[in-house]
Structure 1
Amino acid sequence: MRFNRPTLGALSLALLFAGLQGGQAHAASIAEWEGCSSITADVDRLACYDRVSGHAQPEATPVPPAGARTETLLEPLPVAAQPVQDEPDMLSALSRHWELDDEAKQGAFLFRPHRPNYFLPIKVSNSPNDTPFQNTFVQPDLGLDSLETELQLSFKIKGMEGVFGHDNFDLWFGYTITSFWQAYNDTISSPFRETNYEPEAILTYRTNYEIAGFRGRFLNLGMLHQSNGRGEALSRSWNRVYAQFGFERDNLAVLIRPWYRIPERDEDDNPDIEDYLGHGDLQVVYRKGRNAYSLLLRNNFKSSDNRGALKLNWSFPLYGRLKGYVQYFNGYGESLIDYNHSQQSFGVGVSLTEGM
């Protein structure tokens, strides 16, 4: 067998060092030393030399020489039995949105989505509401296009967890802004036709009961203000308090929200708004995979002059977190400026969060 000079020199020094240790090293063969020198990793090669020279640490794992059968040198170590853990239950959409379960809670002062966040670059209405703007343009024959865009941004922040010293109570603050933009209407300089602002405070109480096969998950007590921030003839606003009940069954969520309008102290911009927007709404949300379908209903519950609205939304995956978004609306009050105007509209765009 031939060895190159560096290998023989290293082996000679190692053997000499081993002989000076007062018999601490065992009688190592040339094959064992050569097996160590063939190891490429520095740490493993040093451990091999320590073992062959008799300086291996008791807790070190022995390294087999080159060509040796592993099973003849190593004994299997006993493996402690690991307890089998149950997989955690998947959190429901309502639990994630309102942090109803302990596993869902993230603490206070973090931004979360509230209502859907979306952008509809294409939205068509069959009956644009020109009436409120007839006296606002320099030329009275100018009107609104049936094609426009819509943008909604909505978030909420948990202000306090465990209100009243009770784990089932949380305090939230929400804010939603919805803008309708005549982006393609160059005739009137492409203005924002309407923007609605909606701040609200919500006290969430976690519940757990069964009714008609549905599980009652929460009760929201809220107060909100909604206005379009305009003055004089275009001003629209109202204040409400509401109670919202949340139910779920598998992938289906149902939210029932009756409200009461707080009377205006000063001059009322829209005293008949309840005749069109009613006294509450019903929302149904169904999820299948990464698709979400929602239905929103409003009605004034009057036999004569019955008015209401219907809104259908569908979100579906596009790329990563980006989702496609389709919206259909039919009825009164798509925006505050249109509270007493009925129309149908259809929009297509994208969304980042679905909301509730």
Structure 2
Amino acid sequence: MTIPRADMRLGAFLLAAAGGVGTAFAQSPPATIDQCRGIAKDMERLACYDAFTGRAGDDRREPASSVAAESAAASAAAPADSVVAAPAALSMIDESWGFDPSSAPYEIRFHRANYVLFGRYSDNVNSAPFSPLFQSAGGDQNDLSNTEAKFQFSFKARLWATDDRRWGVWAAYTQQSQWQLYNSDVSRAFRDTNYMPELFVSYKPAIDLGGGFNWNLLSAGFNHQSNGRSDVLSRSWNRLFAEVGVERDSLALSAKAWYRLPEDAGTDDNPDITDYYGHGEISALYRWRGNSFAAMARGNLSTGKGAVQLGWFSPPILGPLRGYVQVFSGYGETLIDYNWKQNTIGVGIALSDGF
């Protein structure tokens, strides 16, 4: 609060006047206390008592100039003391992985992208795995439609974290489905659904790599992926993996490597799956003016087979919902298609972009 100049001048005058009266009595103190009782003015009577008891008015009062200066200094300092610094914005990786020390130790977050493609078109639909089933039912092996729906939901839950949140243990689950929604000939059946539970450890190295890039993620763990089918339609594999993530402003880059755990040759549904999926993948996400642009590439250099996926997430159009376009080219869009090459494009909505 600012003290008005008039009040400051009045206070200084009164203090100076009291000091002057006190000084006068200090120079010739009263002989008896009765002399003080007879003084009509309050300030002069108080100064008389002080002089008689040996307490000088100047000793117990600060000069008016000091009071005014301290008041002005306090007024000037008050606004600065009341300013609260705005919290620093979290990076993409910090926000996605809960590395903020103020985040809850146990929480559930989005993991991979969450979306629904109302329409997804393939230029080369894979009917081969279903041929024995179609033939035994007396149907056409080409009964599958090129157009279907596709959706994915993915989340992770932190089970434990250090006080600074740099270390964490997570469990995650991702499910992706291809649905012949517009194909009444096959009773609008789900063509394939992939289930992927994971368990992993995350760590924030927080290392400046130069050029504006920071190494903010290191994770390692185990995942199982299968389609829950039997006989000729069964697909599954188990992997150990490690992932690193770096970022700069609105750009995040990640690289993941995996090792497939061996299975018994007699029960392995897809012994050559790494010929098509390879041993790792690289991903990128860039955010610009509310848009998100995603890219993923994986493959096996020795076989020359792999896949590329691109995605565009629009700014929010209704609450958290965003428009989403996905393009895929290569092998293994889903486990049933792990050794099948196709080009697809889909349009729908998304809740998260993978970060």
- TM-score interval w.r.t. the shorter chain? 0.7 to 0.9
Q: Return the offset for 1:223.
A: 0.5
CA deviation vs aligned residue, 1:56-113 (integer Å, no higher than 9, x gap):
xxxxxxxxxxxxxxxxxxxxx968334234322211111100012314x2220x3211
Aligned to 2:133: 136
Aligned to 1:310: 308
Aligned to 2:26: none
CA deviation vs aligned residue, 1:103-125 (integer Å, no higher than 9, x gap):
4x2220x3211111100011100
Q: In 2, Cα distance between the equivalents of 1:227 and 1:166?
A: 36
Match of 2:168, SS state, is strand
> How large is the RMSD of aligned CA atoms in angstroms?
1.9
Q: 1:177 to 1:270 in 2, by over 3 A?
A: same
Contact 1:100 1:217 in 2 (8 A): no
Aligned to 1:187: 185
Q: In 2, Cα distance between the equivalents of 1:254 and 1:78?
A: 50
Aligned to 1:297: 297
Contact 1:315 1:326 in 2 (8 A): yes
Tell me which structure has the larger Cα radius of gyration: 2
Q: 1:96 to 1:346 in 2, by over 3 A?
A: same
Match of 1:89, SS state, is coil
Contact 2:152 2:175 in 1 (8 A): yes
Q: Return the offset for 1:204.
A: 0.2
Alignment-mate amino acid for residue 248 of structure 2: R
Match of 2:309, SS state, is strand
Q: Which runs of 5+ in 1 are unaligned?
A: 1-76
Q: In 2, Cα distance between the equivalents of 1:350 and 1:147?
A: 17
Q: In 2, Cα distance between the equivalents of 1:167 and 1:295?
A: 28
Q: In 2, Cα distance between the equivalents of 1:301 and 1:222?
A: 24
Q: TM-score, normalised by structure 1?
A: 0.74
Contact 2:173 2:197 in 1 (8 A): yes
1:161 aligns with 2:158: no
Aligned to 2:245: 246
CA deviation vs aligned residue, 1:4-52 (integer Å, no higher than 9, x gap):
xxxxxxxxxxxxxxxxxxxxxxxxxxxxxxxxxxxxxxxxxxxxxxxxx
Identity of aligned residues (%): 42
Please point out which of 123, 127, 131 is paired with 1:126. 123
Please point out which of 209, 212, 235 is paired with 1:211. 209
CA deviation vs aligned residue, 1:168-189 (integer Å, no higher than 9, x gap):
2100100000010001111111
Aligned to 1:92: 91
Aligned to 1:201: 199
Aligned to 1:44: none
Aligned to 2:288: 288
CA deviation vs aligned residue, 1:149-192 (integer Å, no higher than 9, x gap):
00111111001112xx8852100100000010001111111100
Q: In 1, Cα distance between the equivalents of 2:105 and 2:147?
A: 42
Please point out which of 168, 171, 193 is paired with 1:170. 168
Please point out which of 99, 108, 124 is paired with 1:111. 108
Aligned to 1:231: 230
Q: In 2, Cα distance between the equivalents of 1:136 and 1:279?
A: 32
Match of 2:79, SS state, is coil
Q: In 1, Cα distance between the equivalents of 2:194 and 2:332?
A: 12
Aligned to 2:268: 268
Greater mean alpha carbon deviation, residues 140-149 or residues 168-177: 140-149
Match of 2:129, SS state, is helix
Which structure 1 residue ranges, 4+ long, deviate > 4 Å from structure 2?
none
Match of 1:135, SS state, is helix
Q: In 1, Cα distance between the equivalents of 2:240 and 2:164?
A: 23
Aligned to 1:60: none
Match of 1:157, SS state, is strand
Q: TM-score, normalised by structure 2?
A: 0.74
Q: In 2, Cα distance between the equivalents of 1:282 and 1:352?
A: 22
CA deviation vs aligned residue, 1:289-333 (integer Å, no higher than 9, x gap):
21111000001011xx30110000111121221100100000000
Match of 1:207, SS state, is coil
Q: Return the offset for 1:212.
A: 5.3
Alignment-mate amino acid for residue 312 of structure 2: W
Alignment-mate amino acid for residue 115 of structure 2: Y
Match of 2:312, SS state, is strand
Q: 1:233 to 1:321 in 2, by over 3 A?
A: same
